[in-house]
Amino acid sequence: MKILVINPNTTAAMTESIGAIAKKYAAPGTEITVCSPEWGPRSIEGHFEEQIAALATIETVVRYRDDFDGFVIACYGDPGVNACREVTDKPVLGIAEASMHTACLLGHKFSVVTVIERACALIEDGVKRVGLSDRCASIRSTGMSVLEIEENPQQAVVQMVEQGRLAIRDDGAEVICLGCAGMGPLDDQLEEQLGVPVLDGTACAVKMLEGILAYGKSTSKVRAFAWPEKKELPGCSPLLQSVTSSAD
Amino acid sequence: MKILVINPNTTAAMTESIGAIAKKYAAPGTEITVCSPEWGPRSIEGHFEEQIAALATIETVVRYRDDFDGFVIACYGDPGVNACREVTDKPVLGIAEASMHTACLLGHKFSVVTVIERACALIEDGVKRVGLSDRCASIRSTGMSVLEIEENPQQAVVQMVEQGRLAIRDDGAEVICLGCAGMGPLDDQLEEQLGVPVLDGTACAVKMLEGILAYGKSTSKVRAFAWPEKKELPGCSPLLQSVTSSAD
Amino acid sequence: MKILVINPNTTAAMTESIGAIAKKYAAPGTEITVCSPEWGPRSIEGHFEEQIAALATIETVVRYRDDFDGFVIACYGDPGVNACREVTDKPVLGIAEASMHTACLLGHKFSVVTVIERACALIEDGVKRVGLSDRCASIRSTGMSVLEIEENPQQAVVQMVEQGRLAIRDDGAEVICLGCAGMGPLDDQLEEQLGVPVLDGTACAVKMLEGILAYGKSTSKVRAFAWPEKKELPGCSPLLQSVTSSAD
Amino acid sequence: MKILVINPNTTAAMTESIGAIAKKYAAPGTEITVCSPEWGPRSIEGHFEEQIAALATIETVVRYRDDFDGFVIACYGDPGVNACREVTDKPVLGIAEASMHTACLLGHKFSVVTVIERACALIEDGVKRVGLSDRCASIRSTGMSVLEIEENPQQAVVQMVEQGRLAIRDDGAEVICLGCAGMGPLDDQLEEQLGVPVLDGTACAVKMLEGILAYGKSTSKVRAFAWPEKKELPGCSPLLQSVTSSAD
Amino acid sequence: MKILVINPNTTAAMTESIGAIAKKYAAPGTEITVCSPEWGPRSIEGHFEEQIAALATIETVVRYRDDFDGFVIACYGDPGVNACREVTDKPVLGIAEASMHTACLLGHKFSVVTVIERACALIEDGVKRVGLSDRCASIRSTGMSVLEIEENPQQAVVQMVEQGRLAIRDDGAEVICLGCAGMGPLDDQLEEQLGVPVLDGTACAVKMLEGILAYGKSTSKVRAFAWPEKKELPGCSPLLQSVTSSAD
Amino acid sequence: MKILVINPNTTAAMTESIGAIAKKYAAPGTEITVCSPEWGPRSIEGHFEEQIAALATIETVVRYRDDFDGFVIACYGDPGVNACREVTDKPVLGIAEASMHTACLLGHKFSVVTVIERACALIEDGVKRVGLSDRCASIRSTGMSVLEIEENPQQAVVQMVEQGRLAIRDDGAEVICLGCAGMGPLDDQLEEQLGVPVLDGTACAVKMLEGILAYGKSTSKVRAFAWPEKKELPGCSPLLQSVTSSAD
């Protein structure tokens, strides 16, 4: 079972730490490869970067679609996940959706603790898209950027514990989802301090993807995620063009 | 990793076929045990049987809570699942919630195809409890009872294909969830005929539970699913009494 | 008109005080009988106790289904109410649903003030099941257990007034529903101090049930609450078995 | 206990038949008076008539607010009900809200069968205002006007049975609410033919109001339904002016 | 293009200031006329005044329906807007709905800052009717009456800035809608101090109405807003009677 | 007032017809420029093309952000609209959101009639993002691709009339939104045949944008749509890089 974990951010250190988590929790028979797109933002904190990263991620899935059994998109905006579901018949999971679905099995309500304030709006739309608004107690910001968290993890822990505690005490959260792939390595520390399950999306997605692959299932191709229609894509990269030139 | 799959129905043949599926999809290192409670309804099609089965299932979890790493409740009403989350600190998954969460990762909308009409109301409440009403295209009845499906699987396939096709064509379903644990063995035949992913909840729950265990997570104990309060349960079985007599 | 009020808790003092309220507000022609099941938890504060009490309550309804014209389930989790609707063709009302429906006729939004924090999650699911989440301003905990309230009603009043005031001031509540049958005797004191309608569910349920009976209506038996299907219930009490052995 | 039932339509025959139902189901100690406003539409089928009738109804409540213990507004648009709650401290119930709340205690889902198609939009907004959209299976039109139903009740029964059957079979309705006060006298015939509870809103409202009065409750006056602010109402009738001239 | 802006309040100074705003933002080719009904409340802060103003506003639209190309109802309760849509085939817009729709194009979430607390309940129902509850961050009260704001605009600015800042900081609002037509003249001052778009509903409605007229569209007359049915309106004003006497 | 209308599809004929509509309905003082990105899909019918077009559209907005007063994105998926809101402080409107908001002012419910079936899922998510699911009666497919509609408009009219009629008769639609920019030129024919308002999103967006500009408002920059954070975008086009290199 070969899984490609794509970090839509082009920051090598983050890609590395995401890969470490994915490998740490992967089953014995799972071969994890981690990569980031060849181009795109160093970090994703708003719609602009998300849209760039989405296309770069889609291109990455196309590039490797014959080489892996399934794909994980390791950014909490799940950039491009639905488009990726169209360009391959292998399953594709975003870490936000995976962590939210997992959280619902472990507690009555979950909260997401994330980076700077503006990301909360993005994640709120994500929760609505997934359909789990009723189960989401709150989305809270640490006020730190993705790269600040990467560079200063101990400060990040302090902020995240503070927001996590407020989520548990004031919002009724019972599970905390880490709202940024870069926060993954902090999950154990946080869980110890908060006393509730703290979920890293990458770990959740790898485990759910292994399960889906072992069960022999993949994306439904009858409607929303059918193969793209055949059409021209003038000016696009050969990889992207390969998707719709050969479609029938 | 030891998982107990509980069939809340006391029909031995169904317990056996549920066990067969659980074992078929379990990972190499997973040890599956299947059982049904010592008492309770032969099949579950309404609120009355569900409440009986819920208590019998809770008792079963209590009985074996030291012997397994996690529990699957293999009936599409998820009877007693939240109470079971209180009586153990090991994760407990219902097959309905597990199949719905899985379905959301494979298609834009899912439908549930189930037994007799009255079960649709129960399942509709279940979807609302899980919080995924927005992702559920429809809940459709085959008009067959649990035991009729068990006894006449080929007739069941005919009915289920018919309802599945209507769900896909008229309701926008892209994934079909089998709304009864007893339908599990039919998933491959149905998938072949319907052309969309067909999900058996037992398989979904086993895979998600394996993932949660491998990731080292379990139910949050801070609020909704905290250990039961210490109190007397006059007239209840010693097993049930053991839960709240020793609580602190 | 004969109404059976069932206290799903097996605490005699609480049963007595519930009966007193039911009788206090019953119409002249109404004969109120109050009882609790022969077995089950002393108090209900979580899913575990609720599931036990649900079955004990169902059994109680079965036991007396020929002797009364309607039934009230006097616990704010409405334990087993839907199953009870199946085993009799007389109307069955839960006090939570009755108080919420009544509250909607008296104010724009209602809040529920209840016992310990964990009960809030249960009640939140109850509000969702009833379908009135849009009208519910908040669910607030006094931090006191059912039995503490029973034993120390004046301390309970202090806590309830505090939470009620916060609900009115911060959450926009205009009506307060007492989220525990044991709080019933405190309604007048609370109403005086809070200046808004304070509703005891037992009183609401008795009045609504009298109205439904006088109007000659009962539970619809065509789908969700049809008589249980005929089937075996091995190991269950003769009373429970009588339900499905004689079903046709 | 004195209840004023107001028919917001100025059609004497309809007022009479509404009064007959109210009296038929009233408790022994209840004194029912029925009236219609002194001005306003013969029947209400759209927003225009509803707004006229709302004001005429409010004026009627003001006129008689010292003479009765509670008020029922007997038109399925509940015209002016919230404003009426402001001008008196006695409880005021609309028949639509009363029938929907009652329906939720008797079945899993209810449908409303009403007059001409345009009324469905009005009623849909009413269900949303009450907050019970999740429990409403459908709103169906008979295609007959209020006065056609009044004049040709047997034709109305035929149409209503047809729509009721479709609601039960196709929409999952278990209870039928009569979506026009004028349909009230047909409830027994319909119930016999449809085999599910058929609810007339006037009967439901009278019974719920009796219950609320017996329980000693009334509208919350702290926020949405507080007494109107003191202010001038130039050009309005003396009755309306009396409301805000004396306010403090 | 001739637009009639109706101030449902009968306070001349407010009508004048509403007219000033409407004219300030109107396009060169637009002729704005402003008026208030000949009768009705000096200000609108509750359901009672709203119902009176609704009928007075409808009558005003009927009076002038041949003289204008479109109508704006300049009160944040949108009194009578749906009925007005029935009595003319020209477009009719309420300022609340217009400002909410505009706000959704300028920010992720909007809040409404309004007059006294009781109005919040009315506006909350308005947001639900419009269907934009998901986009509404909060509805906040300044604690000032309509006429206090009119008389003491600088005090109003202080209160509105305070509530606006709380909405932005605590509720996630990105746009502020002024929840009273009388607040319109303060929009520039508020926007300068709050740093987010501040929307006056009258301006929004005039601009959207100009757009709809220029695009050649008007209210759909097939169902909810069809012309009123022909019928008698005994005791009503000749203007109101003219609506349904000539209907076919 | 200078407005740039961007057709995210790179099909020159469609860009031309979109431009014709925009100019037809633009106000006298408005200068409309129409363009399509320099690269990207010929047409957009799924998530894959939408993601490509989103980035190409964002780049186009960046390229021209100093040259126009506002931007319209003329594709019914509103590709990249939120990201575009970040890269400029001029208002940006998508045609889907503009047509839905307009529809809500003209009827009680709207339906969208669009291209091939798979687009319905995309649009359903769009309606949810806009927040107007409660006002949307249905989303219906003509079964024709974007380019088939472009090439065979008369066949398109036939299909669209059929789906529009079903939406009106069966789903309760009162307004029809054209769910593809390429359908715009057909709006008059359709409106004549369907008898309800038929809305082309481009026209709606141009008119709403003119209104917003005349009112002097633009996107809120405090949270969700703040300027992108300063960061590196390795491998991205100089235009995209210019956005975050100069950010502060």
Model pLDDT for residues B125-164, shown as the tens digit of each residue:
999 999 999 999 999 999 999 889 988 999 999 999 999 9
Contact C172 E128 (CB under 8 A): no
- Least confident segment among A148-152, A233-237, D52-56, E240-244: A148-152
- Provide the shortest C-alpha distance from residue E63 to chain D (in Å): 14
pLDDT tens-digit readout, B33-87: 999 999 999 999 999 999 999 999 999 999 999 999 999 999 999 999 999 999 9
The DSSP code sequence of B88-102 is -SS-EEEHHHHHHHH
Q: Report how far residue F50's alpha carbon sits from residue F44's, in angstroms, rounded to the nearest whole number.
A: 6
> Which are the contacts of C59, defined by CB distance < 8 A and separation ≥ 6?
C37, C38, C237, C239, C240
β-strands D175-178, D110-114: how paired?
parallel
- Answer positive or negative: Cα dihedral of C90, C94, C97, C98: positive
Alpha helices in chain B (DSSP H): 12-25, 47-64, 81-87, 95-104, 118-130, 146-151, 153-170, 187-194, 201-214, 238-245
Burial A114-133 (b: 16+ CB within 10 A, else e): bbbbbbbbbbbbbbbbbbbe
Cβ neighbour number for residue F56 with a 10 Å cutoff = 25
Contacts of F108 in chain D (CB under 8 A): 121, 124-125
Residue D147: closest CA among chain E residues belongs to which residue?
A: E231
Residue B199: closest CA among chain A residues belongs to which residue?
A: A217
β-strands B110-114, B175-178: how paired?
parallel
Q: Which residue in C7, C35, C52, C148 has the most chain B C-beta atoms within 10 A of its own C-beta, making it the best mutation to test that interface? A: C52
Residue C41: closest CA among chain B residues belongs to which residue?
A: B233
Residue labelled with tokens 């349920």: C205
pLDDT at A150: 86
Say if CB F46 and CB F122 are below 8 A apart: yes
Partner B contacted by D172 (CB < 8 A)? yes
Partner E contacted by D128 (CB < 8 A)? yes
Which of C197, C222, C224 is opposite residue D217, by nearest beta carbon?
A: C197
Which chains reach chain F with 3 or more Cβ–Cβ distances below 8 angstroms?
A: A, B, D, E
The DSSP code sequence of E80-97 is THHHHHHH-SS-EEEHHH
Helix, strand, or coil (residue C80): coil
Rg, chain D, Cα only = 17
pLDDT at B223: 97
Say if CB C208 and CB C98 are below 8 A apart: yes
Phi and psi angles of residue C155, each rounded to the nearest 5 degrees, phi first: -65, -40
The widest CA-to-CA distance across chain C, in whole angstroms, is 54
Contacts of E102 in chain F (CB under 8 A): 101, 208, 211-212, 217
Residue A137: closest CA among chain C residues belongs to which residue?
A: C121
pLDDT at E197: 98
Alpha helices in E39-186 (DSSP H): 47-64, 81-87, 95-104, 118-130, 146-151, 153-170
> Which are the contacts of C238, defined by CB distance < 8 A and separation ≥ 6?
none
Q: Report how far residue A111's alpha carbon sits from residue A163's, in angstroms, rounded to the nearest whole number.
A: 10
Q: What is the number of residues in chain F?
A: 248
Whether residue B248 is predicted with pLDDT greater than 80 in this model: the reply is no
Contacts of B175 in chain A (CB under 8 A): 220
Contact B51 C54 (CB under 8 A): yes
Phi and psi angles of residue C80, each rounded to the nearest 5 degrees, phi first: 75, 10
- Provide the shortest C-alpha distance from residue B229 to chain F (in Å): 42
Contacts of D109 in chain B (CB under 8 A): 121
pLDDT tens-digit readout, F195-231: 999 999 999 999 999 999 999 999 999 999 999 999 9
Please count the residue pairs, one from chain B and one from chain F, whose beta carbons lie less than 8 angstroms apart: 7
Partner D contacted by B121 (CB < 8 A)? yes
Contacts of F208 in chain E (CB under 8 A): 102, 105, 207-208, 211
Say if CB F135 and CB F110 are below 8 A apart: yes
pLDDT tens-digit readout, A6-22: 999 999 999 999 999 99
Partner D contacted by F170 (CB < 8 A)? no
Residue type, B177: C
Confidence of residue D46 (pLDDT cuts 50, 70, 90): very high
Partner D contacted by C138 (CB < 8 A)? no
Contact E207 F223 (CB under 8 A): no
The mean per-residue pLDDT over the stretch C165-172 comes to 97
- Provide the shortest C-alpha distance from residue A128 to chain F (in Å): 8
Say if CB F40 and CB F10 are below 8 A apart: yes
Burial F87-103 (b: 16+ CB within 10 A, else e): bbebbbbbbbbbbbbbb
Contacts of C1 in chain D (CB under 8 A): none
Say if CB A98 and CB B105 are below 8 A apart: yes
Q: Is D12 exposed, middle or buried (0-12, 13-18, 19+ CB in 10 A)?
A: exposed
Cα–Cα distances in angstroms (integers) from residue B153 to residues B36, B157, C46, in the given order: 21, 6, 39
Residue A134: closest CA among chain B residues belongs to which residue?
A: B131
Say if CB E228 and CB E244 are below 8 A apart: yes
Contacts of E235 in chain D (CB under 8 A): 10, 38-40
pLDDT tens-digit readout, E17-44: 999 999 999 999 999 999 999 999 999 9
Whether residue C42 is predicted with pLDDT greater than 60 in this model: the reply is yes
Q: Report how far residue D157's alpha carbon sits from residue D180's, in angstroms, rounded to the nearest whole number.
A: 13
Contacts of F125 in chain B (CB under 8 A): 108
- Provide the shortest C-alpha distance from residue D192 to chain E (in Å): 32
Q: Report how far residue F5's alpha carbon sits from residue F16's, in angstroms, rounded to the nearest whole number.
A: 11
Contact C134 E120 (CB under 8 A): no
Whether residue C247 is predicted with pLDDT greater than 80 in this model: the reply is no
Contacts of F210 in chain E (CB under 8 A): 207, 211
SS (H, E, C) D166-225: HHHHHCCCCEEEECCHHHHHHHHHHHHHHCCCEECHHHHHHHHHHHHHHCCCCCCCCCCC
Contact D108 B121 (CB under 8 A): yes
Query: C173: closest CA among D224, B214, E126, F62?
Result: D224
Chains B and F touch (3+ CB pairs under 8 A): yes
pLDDT tens-digit readout, D200-243: 999 999 999 999 999 999 999 999 999 999 999 999 999 999 99
pLDDT at D150: 86
Q: Is B242 exposed, middle or buried (0-12, 13-18, 19+ CB in 10 A)?
A: middle
- Provide the shortest C-alpha distance from residue E193 to chain A (in Å): 21
Cβ neighbour number for residue D33 with a 10 Å cutoff = 15
Residue labelled with tokens 């988590």: A21
Confidence of residue C150 (pLDDT cuts 50, 70, 90): confident
Whether residue C248 is predicted with pLDDT greater than 70 in this model: the reply is no
pLDDT tens-digit readout, D92-122: 999 999 999 999 999 999 999 999 999 999 9
For chain E, how far is it from start to end, CA to CA, in angstroms? 29
Residue C147: closest CA among chain B residues belongs to which residue?
A: B231
Residue type, C91: P
List the Cα angle D122/D130/E104 in 5-degree steps. 75
Rg, chain F, Cα only = 17
Partner A contacted by E104 (CB < 8 A)? no
- The mean pLDDT of chain C is 96
pLDDT at C175: 98
Contact A228 F85 (CB under 8 A): no
Partner E contacted by A166 (CB < 8 A)? no
Chains F and C touch (3+ CB pairs under 8 A): no
Contact B131 A135 (CB under 8 A): yes
pTM of the model: 0.97
Partner B contacted by D134 (CB < 8 A)? yes
Edge-to-edge strand list for the sheet holding B136-141: B136-141, B110-114, B175-178, B198-199
Which DSSP symbol is given to E135? G
pLDDT at E150: 86
pLDDT tens-digit readout, D121-152: 999 999 999 999 999 999 999 999 988 998 89
Say if CB B210 and CB B98 are below 8 A apart: no
Contacts of F117 in chain A (CB under 8 A): 223
Helical (H) or strand (E) element with C121? helix C118-130
The interface residues of chain F toward chain E in range 32-71, judged by CB-CB distance below 8 A, are none
Contact A207 B195 (CB under 8 A): no
Burial B124-161 (b: 16+ CB within 10 A, else e): bbbbbbbbbebbbbbbbbbebbbbbbbeebeebbebbb
Q: What is the number of residues in chain E?
A: 248
Partner F contacted by D128 (CB < 8 A)? yes
Torsion of CA A175, A176, A177, A178, to 10 degrees: -160
Q: Report how far residue A82's alpha carbon sits from residue A76's, in angstroms, rounded to the nearest whole number.
A: 14
The widest CA-to-CA distance across chain D, in whole angstroms, is 54
Cα–Cα distances in angstroms (integers) from residue A155 to residues A76, A149, A152, A181, in the given order: 20, 8, 6, 17
Cβ neighbour number for residue B246 with a 10 Å cutoff = 10
Helix, strand, or coil (residue D85): helix
- The mean pLDDT of chain E is 96
Q: Which two tokens stand for residue B177?
A: 């969830």
Partner C contacted by A109 (CB < 8 A)? yes
Q: Report how far residue A103's alpha carbon sits from residue A99's, in angstroms, rounded to the nearest whole number.
A: 6
Q: Which two tokens stand for residue D116?
A: 């001409």
pLDDT tens-digit readout, A36-69: 999 999 999 999 999 999 999 999 999 999 999 9
Contacts of E109 in chain A (CB under 8 A): 121
Contacts of D78 in chain C (CB under 8 A): none
pLDDT at F150: 86
pLDDT at A130: 98
The interface residues of chain E toward chain F in range 216-235, judged by CB-CB distance below 8 A, are 217-220, 222-225
Contacts of C134 in chain E (CB under 8 A): 128
Whether residue E248 is predicted with pLDDT greater than 80 in this model: the reply is no
Partner A contacted by C20 (CB < 8 A)? no
Percent of chain C with pLDDT over 90: 96
Contacts of C29 in chain D (CB under 8 A): 28
Burial D47-69 (b: 16+ CB within 10 A, else e): bbbbbbbbbbbbbbbbbbbeebb
Which DSSP symbol is given to B223? S
Which of D29, D93, D175 is opposite residue C105, by nearest beta carbon?
A: D93
Percent of chain D with pLDDT over 90: 96
What is the ipTM for the molecules in this complex?
Answer: 0.97
Contact E134 A128 (CB under 8 A): yes
pLDDT tens-digit readout, E120-171: 999 999 999 999 999 999 999 999 998 899 889 999 999 999 999 999 999 9
Cα–Cα distances in angstroms (integers) from residue F39 to residues A236, A241, E17, F60, in the given order: 6, 11, 50, 10
Say if CB A73 and CB A93 are below 8 A apart: yes
Q: Report how far residue F57's alpha carbon sits from residue F71's, in angstroms, rounded to the nearest whole number.
A: 10
Say if CB A150 and CB A42 are below 8 A apart: no
Q: Report how far residue B128's alpha carbon sits from residue A132's, in angstroms, rounded to the nearest whole number.
A: 10
Percent of chain E with pLDDT over 70: 99
